[in-house]
Amino acid sequence: MAVNYAEQYAQALANAFPNVLHFGALYNTENNSQYKFIDANTIKVPVVKTGGRVDGTLDKIESFTRNYQNEWETKTLDNYRKWKTLVPPEDIQFSNQVLSIQNITKSFNEFQKFPEMDAYCVSKIYADWVAQSKTASTTALTVDNVLSEFDKMMQAETEANTPEMGRILYVTPQTSTLIKQAKEVTRAIDIKDAGTSINRRVTDIDLVQVEVVPSELMKTAYDFTAGYKVGSSAQQINMMLIHPQAVITPVAYTYSQLDAPSAGSEGKYLYYEESYEDVFILNQRADAIQFNVTATA
């Protein structure tokens, strides 16, 4: 009887996400453990609104009324994905089926699934953010203004009471180069190994972590019919400033199974996996996200 290794496989992938996904920090947000599934593909996020404090008195006990409202923000996972392949018997480790599955899917994960997850993540965040009536900056970035544009993003998030600690700036390679060359930058260059090694990387700005993402994985829209490709209406995202607390990124594997060889499979193993996964912004925290995109012609 074939065994469904969905839970073990999902855990193995989750452990790898911070190291293999460009947006690994977002897929590793603490929100994923705080909000639970109520069924196979639905999450309900509590939205609690309370009244403020008032002056007290020592002379009497005042009456009680409910001072909060508990509403629900329902998130339905619509991104249902599957993948299957034939597997020659020599690729199977009979003593460790989970390891066999990881080996079978290694190339697929690295070159298809993980880039697709990155593409879906940034484009879905952008779509949800725009749906909350937010508008991205379309200022063309140069060496003269890239840091001032970053400052504007930071200011907007600070005004929205977003914690400064934990913010991440995702940039394209071109934007990263502009930051390195920005005239306002005063940089301590690390020269080591007898002057043969120079480190010019910019890993943070004002203690905000900087992550460089390939331009292809920083678009506003994609076509996910088979794998992923840039959408016809896509704009280039140059910078995204975000706090991981602003998103929830659930991934639920429902199936990961190897079927034994049979006449019908011509002596090959059959591997099949399916998952529900999605990316959502928390509506109350939409201001913890800022974008700069290239204006459409």
Percent of the chain beyond pLDDT 90? Answer: 51
The most confident of the ranges 6-20, 32-46, 135-149, 246-260 is 135-149
For residue 200, what pLDDT band results from cuts at 50, 70 and 90?
low
**Tokens describing residue 13:** 């992938």
Domain range for 221 is: 6-33+81-293
The answer to whether 208 and 168 are in contact (CB under 8 A) is yes
Query: Whole-number mean pLDDT of the chain?
Result: 87
> Which amino acid is present at 284?
Q
pLDDT (average), residues 150-171? 97
Concatenated DSSP letters for 215-246? GGGSBS-EE-SSS-EE-TT--BEEEEEE-GGG
| pLDDT: which is higher, 21 or 66 | 21
Strands 280-281 and 247-248, by their bridges, are: antiparallel
In a domain? residue 210: yes
Name the CA dihedral angle for 50, 56, 61, 65, rounded to a multiple of 10 degrees.
-10
**Residue 66 located in a structural domain:** no
In a domain, 57, yes or no: no
CA–CA dist 296, 160 (Å, integer): 28
Residue 288 domain-assigned?
A: yes
| pLDDT score, position 161 | 96
| Tokens found for residue 107 | 């190339």
Taking only Cα atoms into account, the Rg of the chain, rounded to an integer number of angstroms, comes to 23
282 phi and psi angles, rounded to 5 deg: -85, 120
d(CA 221, CA 168): 21
For residues 288-294, average pLDDT: 98
Q: Identify any residues that bridge with 212 across adjacent strands, giving them in sequence order.
A: 171
Has residue 182 been placed in a domain?
yes
Q: What is residue 6's predicted lDDT score, i.e. its pLDDT? A: 67
Is pLDDT of 261 > 80? yes
Alpha helices in 171-234, H assignment, sequence order = 173-181
Question: What is this structure's pTM?
Answer: 0.84
Residues above pLDDT 70, as percent of the chain: 87
Domain assignment present for 70: no
User: Is residue 267 exposed (0-12), middle (13-18) or buried (19+ Cβ within 10 Å)?
Assistant: exposed
What is the total count of domains within the chain?
A: 1
* Residue 74 in domain: no
Range in 9-18, 76-85, 110-119, 173-182 the model is least confident about:
9-18
Contact 242/156 with Cβ under 8 angstroms?
no
Both structure tokens of 55: 């002056």
At a CB cut-off of 8 Å and minimum separation 6, what does 138 contact? 292, 293, 294, 295
Assess if residue 40 is contained within a domain: no
- End-to-end Cα separation, the chain, in angstroms: 58
pLDDT tens figures, 87-108: 888 777 665 666 677 777 888 8
Please say whether the beta carbons of 276 and 207 come within 8 A. Answer: no
